[in-house]
Structure 1
């Protein structure tokens, strides 16, 4: 994936219906908790080869277990075909925060570093905000 010059607000405005409303609400929450960090639209194939558009908050250099480090985002927000996804690329004691806090986040599906859900009502906002604040604390070099 690569950073784009696409205006994030224009991109978000183009998503219609209740999912668009949820996406914009999540954007506001993430932007509030990560105030001062960059907010950029990323575009291109994700790991599995699917074409994605992800709003990335906070630029980081992420080490990889195999190969060179990559430029990436601390938190990413995406509208998928069947759900919304939030990626949190911060770890504590060797485990991604999403995994560590899975039980607190609501009735959502949790992967290694991703939370997925079909409606914002499934996500516990207070726990989500707390996780975002901790991600920022753990990643002081985010820009």
Structure 2
């Protein structure tokens, strides 16, 4: 995946779930106002083509191979759900894993949060988690 020059707001307006995507974008930007928003496109590690709004830029260590340029927070629309990627670590564990039980009716991977409807996400906890991620990673560039 790599950053592209497409306008993020235009992408949000064109999304199938534009209302929910725009609401999530607003939640993220409210808690992470210093982070830039850039659209990333390409093939994810699992082999699927993706478009992800990335917030902030960082060097992401990989378990095998060289570090990659990546984002602290990512937002993507999938065919059946919405995904938020959070590459924040506290005390050696992904922040998503630590807060999983408090985020509502969602599924949690190592650094991925998925849910079928925005109303299933506990928004106060989500906002708190985003703010903490930014706090934990001051090295992330806008």
Q: What are the equivalent positions in structure 2 for 1:24-103 lying under 5 Å apart? A: 24-103=22-101
Give the TM-score normalised by structure 2.
Answer: 0.97
Q: Which runs of 5+ in 2 are unaligned?
A: none
Structure 2 match to 1:10: 10
Instruction: Tell me how large the CA RMSD over aligned residues is.
Output: 0.7
CA deviation profile, 1:65-121 (whole Å, cap 9, x unmatched)? 211111000000000011000000001111111111000100111111111011100
CA deviation profile, 1:41-81 (whole Å, cap 9, x unmatched)? 00000011100000000111111121111100000000001
Matched residue of 2:57: which SS? strand
Counterparts of 1:125 and 1:79 in 2: how far apart (Å)? Answer: 18
* Alignment coverage as a number of residue pairs: 141
Runs of 4 or more above 6 Å deviation: none
Counterparts of 2:18 and 2:11 in 1: how far apart (Å)? Answer: 10
Structure 2 match to 1:129: 127
Q: Which runs of 5+ in 1 are unaligned?
A: none
